[in-house]
Structure 1
Amino acid sequence: MKAPPFAYVRPATLDDVLAELAGGDAKVLAGGQSLVPVLAMRLGRPATLVDINSVSDLHGLEAVSGQLRVGAAVRQRTVERAEQARAVPLIGMALPFVGHRELRSRGTVVGSLAHADPAAELPAVAACLEATIEVAGPRGRRSVPAAEFFAGAMTTGAGPDEVVVAARFPTARPGEGFGFAEIARRHGDFALAGVAARVRVDGDGVTDARLTGFGVSDRPVSRDVTALVRAAGEHEPELRAATAELATEVVDTAGDAHGSTGYRRRLFGVLAARELARAVRRARSRQEVPA
């Protein structure tokens, strides 16, 4: 199918972008890898597409003050290959699962967050790392925690007259380890179930552990699993018993032709146990060596 008719504008400044969004029924176009299929299937009919690729302020990628700041027009493939992005290992683990290389060459990190597909990898990364989303609108700029940004399937905390301008991911610290995995019918397909894990350790053991599931609800679902991981450590059989129980709480998506709710719960439990165990081992290997 072809998209319905729309007006196309390519502003050069953020102020001009906001002026276009204030005019009524408009959608932001960055990489287009989520929006264009929606238009082609006529699931969306915006009157205007506002292309933000000429706004130079939105192309920044920098690691500063313990955070990796990714501008709204930065391609996923750019982040995948960027030296400074290695400071956030979980992004590097997740990006190879995002579509295919050709799609990542156009798709943007922030665009994936703004699209808020519940089966997408990058929203789960943002939720697991407790990233911050920068939003600009007619009332000024504001920073939204990832936990508050994802409001539901394809729904975020950004208003129709606002634009997401960047995302800030905390960089990894010594004693911090990560895990990421998903199950899909084919590489590049939407995940039937997936997990992102972050674990922190010190000389006394696990101090913090966070687990995020995706493809299992209408948004990324995060849980503090510190007590669970502290009790089981990196022993996957013990972790699996606990994550199987957790799956009954976290996985609430309805079954479909690709997998029942019960099947997704089993996937979540197995993946969660495996990746938490890996995250613990990686965290221990990254501990600072006393001088």
Structure 2
Amino acid sequence: MDPTRQKVKLNDGHFIPVLGFGTYAPEEVAKKEALEFTPFAIEVGFRHIDCAHFYQNEEQVGQAIQRKIADGTVKREDIFCTSKLWCTSFRPELVRPALERSLKKLQLDYVDLYIIHFPLALKALEKCKDAGLTKSIGVSNFNHKQLEKILNKPGLKYKPVCNQVECHPYLNQGKLLDFCKSHEIVLVAYAALGSQRVKEWVNPNHPVLLEDPVLSAIAQKHKKTAALIALRYQIQRGVVVLAKGNNKKWIKENMQVFEFELTPEDVKAIDGLNRNIRYYEFHLGVGQPGYPFSEEY
């Protein structure tokens, strides 16, 4: 199957590619990696690029996309570009200017998806969609109660199309996934391979996901890497998955996710790995109103 055609329909009628290229990297290398690896990812078949103001590399991601449009590899409409609103711009009057700044850096007229990182007002995002600055709007790190609150809001104009959350075999988000599916909200998985062990964010005492013996055994059986097994697992559950890559061999390898299928037994075995391990705990937010991780899901 042509990987560039693997898409999921969003509740507003647009389509999102199931495999996305994540551009987050530690601050000291974020710009360099975005410039080096984003064009390569597009060359090997990635069409969904996930970035954010917070990553401090939108300018470089934009240059990479423009370079691939200029050389004829893709057209603008082939690329699904996501950006995100950071907490410094949550006040309603700051939302549109923040998105416009991101668009200027990305050298784009619109993004395909604009996401709010943490549970706060969606009203201003709706206006950005009406203005054509983003095709779809979504949320990130929302638990089911916070989603419910939005969905039950009087006068809600647009349902969020997705909820981008940490999701991997050690935190498979089964209940949240079921909840999202029941409301036509796509779950988008970040940290799908565990994490990059960025010390400011990640608990270093947690086990390394890709060294898990169950994943390794399934990988051996399919003659694939443990990373590919973890990515394929998400796609078969109907989850859109982001794969980060700072190595061309891995980035290219990630496209093999469309070349094989896990058996029901494989999926069941991976389901059994769930142990609610959250690599990104965002301790800064603990005790704040709206901290999303106090709920079970």
Give the TM-score normalised by the residue count of structure 2: 0.26
Q: Which entry has the higher C-alpha Rg, 1 or 2?
A: 1
Higher-strand-fraction structure = 1
Higher-helix-fraction structure = 2
Give the TM-score normalised by the residue count of structure 1: 0.26
